[in-house]
Structure 1
Amino acid sequence: MHSKPSPASAIRPAAPLELDLRGDVADLTARLMDIESVSGNEGPLADAIESALRNLPHLVLHRDGDAIVARTMLGHPERVVLAGHLDTVPLPTTPGARGTVPVSWEGETLYGRGATDMKGGVAVQLALAATLENPNRDVTFIFYDHEEVEGSKSGLGRLFRSSPELLAGDFAILLEPTHGTVEGGCNGTSRYKVRTRGVAAHSARAWMGENAIHAAAPILRILADYSPKTVDVDGLAYRESLNAVRISGGIAGNVIPDYCEVEVNYRFAPDKDVAAAEAHVFELFKDFEIIRTDGAPGARPGLQHPAAASFVAAVGREPKPKFGWTDVARFSELGIPAVNFGPGDALLAHSDDEHVTRAAIHECLAALELWLGGKPATGEGS
């Protein structure tokens, strides 16, 4: 009698896969990408990272599920947090897609799931953890699970709840893809369901009912006519947006629908909190039934903080706003100024063509090495 084989995602290797943290950081990126880590399957990658970091005596390690915190304890007056998530969205299903696993190189460009979002950034973290034994600031490296799914599963959120003292710092950098430019703070996000109700009837006798889908036309008109604001927050211009993202209604092809629901997503500048965003949306749709289903505050850029200002100077590029929501907002809630900075183009994230260049990964590492007191940045690699 043969036992049923376990799913591949449930199988852990007998020993953690080996990672060379001191080799070329772009090759390390490829190695990380080859360890498939779609959300929920971060375990093998977390095991490999923990195993590699435990060989570094200058770091103190803590593991919580598939999240790992590694800290220098040098007694510097300032501590910086470098954070990155281990998981990716599911692999492409399009035949011939290059943004999959295992990875492929085309010249000096690396293709595969996680190339930009965000194993290039994680590789930079690991390279710094291995080589910066005496940084000019104490550094906390955070590697966490479940970023690409609902916030309740976030490994970073779990650490914030269970061990907030491990995440303390004066300034945080999230190594999300930013094309090598500092992107300060982030927009907030909230979702709503705007509803209309009618009276069901046979579609052959439509005059006996009231069509709830037709009644939703004013909702769509409000959205189509809406002019989103661009809001200046601490010198950065955050562009807002308000859009219908889903609509549902009706039960059959011969029934006048008595219910319709439009899901609305509001991306709001970090000058307002979730309550203020909700008040704005509720006012727009005051003539309709509406509920808020989700909301997360944004983060102000915090570029006035001395550590942030010195980092921007080390990067040498004009900072930009982050329009999407990222985990910098979690650090902001703790009172820690935070920015996004990482290799690769965020517009390629989650695409069938996801890729990053070797040079982009090298340049990201070089900028952080320069700022943290490592070897001089050359722009040609590490």
Structure 2
Amino acid sequence: MSPDVLSLTRELVAVDTIDHDENHALAVVAPHLEDAGFDVRTVEHEPGRGTLIAEWHADATAPPLCLSGHVDTVPLGGADWSRDPFRAEPDGDRLYGRGTTDMKGGVAAIVCAAVGVATSTRAPRAGLRLVLTAAEETGSHGARGALDALRGRPSGPLLIAEPTSNAVFHGHKGALWLSARAEGVTAHGSMPHLGDNAVYKLARAVGTFEGFAFTEQAHPAMGAPTLNVGTFHGGLNTNSVPDSAVATVDIRTVPGQDHAAITDDLQARVGDDASVGPLVDLPAVWTDPADDWAAAVSAIAADVTGASQGGEPRAATYFTDASVLTPALGGVPTVVCGPGEPELAHVTDEWVSIAKLRESEEIIRRVATQWCET
């Protein structure tokens, strides 16, 4: 019997996984999967931070459908929450708590749907593979840590249950996070001519990034690539010339862009004032909406939610573990479809619709049943 998706979401939210301790969250779902006949193992990329790989009939005649989500969450932020962020309190149709939308609700829907399929399907044509990751929010480190266990093994398509309000997104932008670092020479603040001010050098450097024009055309679903300078830090005290300064840059790319070429272009702009290098390098992901499996997922989602089929294809501005998993699994068709609301990810008083949790479980169950039985 499948666990209840609302109850499982609440159990997951109760485990604090803000950039740590994901193994405790995985321990919540592992027994449900094991009881349903899944072979479950956890691959750690660092102590206490693992990615769970659960397989059911992975050796069937057709490759397994892959379902994925992450169990880590972002910090609570500086503002006070009106509710305990780890109690997952329902209020009408809303379930409040850190990770309800991004994306413990999606993970709960995956697990409940997978258990339901595994306990009701006999002699499946294809099996299921769940990849539930750690450390997605900071650059998909958990997914990278599990690659040796995934590469070279047959795989069917990939569904990531990140927040889409149960709409089907056919891909997402890539993420290229860069550091720009300037070095100088320190001196007493009353004698600045004896030093070399790293803050001035870095300010000149990042100033060249404002209005940076990408040469690539906008993607029909993702729009244009973007660049944002997110942080700027320099110096240690007021009365010294700073000898070091660093800024971070968040670039969101579209399919076809070369991240190394972008990095080289920005380095050429800043010249000797700063050195530019990658922090996170995750490519964009896109699946043709006309792909048979992707079209079937869209039809199922529309039927469950009552939304109209068709319309313009959609994509996410955020990144997902698909940047790592899709190429590792052989470039399989990939969609993003989960119960959370994209605009509620990372916010104070984050919540998810309870009705959409149940819709998501049904969508994933139908997608998995169709893949395993057809």
Aligned residue number for residue 170 of structure 2: 184
Q: Is contact 1:21-1:28 (8 Å) kept? A: no
Contact 1:193 1:291 in 2 (8 A): yes
Query: 2:337 maps to what in 1?
Result: 341
CA distance in 1, matches of 2:133, 2:126: 22
Of 285, 299, 307, which residue of structure 2 is paired with 1:313? 299
Q: Which residue of 2 aligns with 1:368?
A: 364
Answer yes or no: is 1:79 the counterpart of 2:73. Answer: no
Runs of 4+ residues deviating >6 angstroms: none
Tell me which of 133, 140, 153 is aligned to 2:129.
140
Report the Cα distance in structure 1 between the residues aligned to 2:170 and 2:215, rounded to whole angstroms: 18
Q: Secondary structure at the match of 1:214?
A: helix
Q: What amino acid maps onto 2:262 in structure 1?
A: A
| Aligned: 1:69 with 2:48 | no
Q: Residues 49, 194 of structure 1: CA spacing in aligned structure 2 closer, same or farther, 3 A cutoff?
A: closer
> Which amino acid in structure 1 is aligned with residue 155 of structure 2?
G
Shift of 1:119: 1.2
Number of the residue aligned with 1:174: 160
Tell me, in whole angstroms, the C-alpha distance in 2 between the residues paired with 1:42 and 1:192: 26
* Letter of the structure 2 residue corresponding to residue 139 of structure 1: L
Q: 1:106-117 maps to which residues of 2 (within 5 A)?
A: 106-117=91-102
1:231–1:313 CA distance, 2 compared to 1 (3 A): farther
Normalising by structure 1, report the TM-score. Answer: 0.79
Structure 2 counterpart of 1:223: 209
Q: In the alignment, is the contact (CA less than 8 A) between 1:271 and 1:300 conserved in 2?
A: no
| 2:108 pairs with 1:159 | no
CA contact (8 A) 2:60 2:125 kept: no
Contact 1:331 1:338 in 2 (8 A): no
Change (3 A) 1:111 1:218: same
Aligned-partner Cα distance in 1 for 2:34–2:197: 64
Cα deviation for residue 121 of structure 1 reads 0.6
Q: What is the one-letter code of the residue matched to 1:21?
A: S
How high is the TM-score relative to the length of structure 2?
0.81
Match of 1:241? 226
Query: CA offset at residue 268 of structure 1?
Result: 1.8
Residues 284, 181 of structure 1: alpha-carbon distance in 2 compared, 3 angstrom cutoff: farther
Contact 1:230 1:238 in 2 (8 A): no
Report the secondary structure of 2:17's partner residue.
coil
Q: Structure 1 pair 54/222, CA: closer, same or farther in 2 (3 Å)?
A: same
Moved more, 327-336 or 306-315: 306-315
| Partner deviation per Cα, 1:240-285 (whole Å, 9 max, x = no partner) | 2222222222343223334433332322222123323323323433
Gaps of 5+ in 1: 1-19, 375-382
Aligned alpha-carbon RMSD (Å): 2.9
CA distance in 1, matches of 2:77, 2:250: 25
1:37 paired to 2:17:
yes
By how many angstroms is 1:231 displaced? 4.0
Cα separation, partners in 2 of 1:189 and 1:203, compared to 1, 3 Å: same
Q: How many residue pairs end up in the alignment?
A: 349
How far apart are the structure 1 equivalents of 2:262 and 2:96?
Answer: 38
Q: Which has the higher contact order (CA 8 A, sep 6+)?
A: 2
- Aligned match for 1:261, one of 231, 243, 246: 246
Spell out, residue by residue over 1:100-124, the C-alpha distance to the aligned partner (whole angstroms, 9 max, x if none).
1112111111001110111111111
Out of 253, 262, 267, the residue aligned to residue 282 of structure 1 is 267
1:377 aligns with: none
Tell me the CA shift for residue 287 of structure 1: 5.4
Q: Does 1:204 align with 2:185?
A: no
Residue number in structure 1 paired with 2:33: 53
Cα gap change, 1:208 to 1:75, in 2 (>3 Å): closer
Is 335-344 or 308-317 further displaced after alignment? 308-317
Partner of 1:127: 112
Note the residue ranges of structure 2 that are not aligned, 5 or more in a row: 45-49, 303-308
- Retained in 1: the 8 A contact 2:177–2:281? no
Between the aligned partners of 1:128 and 1:326, the Cα distance in structure 2 is: 21
Which has the larger Rg?
1
| Structure 1 SS opposite 2:238 | coil
| Distance in structure 2 (CA, Å) of the matches to 1:118 and 1:198 | 43
Return the alpha-carbon distance in structure 1 between the equivalents of residues 13 and 207 of structure 2: 44
Matching residue of 1:7: none
Using the aligned pairs only, state the percent identity. 24
Structure 1 residues 147 and 261: alpha-carbon distance in aligned structure 2, compared to 1, 3 A threshold:
closer
TM-fit CA distance, 1:128: 0.9
Distance 2:34 2:196 in 1: 67
> Equivalent residue for 2:306?
none
Q: Aligned partners of 1:72 and 1:333: how far apart in 2?
A: 22
**Helix, strand or coil: the match of 2:348?**
coil
Could you tell me whether the CA contact under 8 Å between 1:192 and 1:290 is conserved in 2?
no
After superposition, the Cα gap between the structure-2 partners of 1:300 and 1:238, relative to the gap in structure 1 and judged at 3 Å, is farther
Q: Distance in 1 between matches of 2:190 and 2:60?
A: 78
One-letter amino acid of the counterpart of residue 342, structure 2: A
Once residues 72 and 195 of structure 2 are traced to their aligned partners in structure 1, the CA distance between those partners, rounded to angstroms, is 49
Cross-structure match for 2:258: 273
Spell out the pairing of 1:1-40 with structure 2 (5 A cutoff). 21-23=2-4, 25-40=5-20
Q: Is the 8 A contact 2:174 2:285 kept in 1?
A: no
Kindly tell me: are residues 292 and 119 of structure 1, through their superposed partners in 2, closer, same or farther at Cα, counting changes over 3 Å? Answer: same
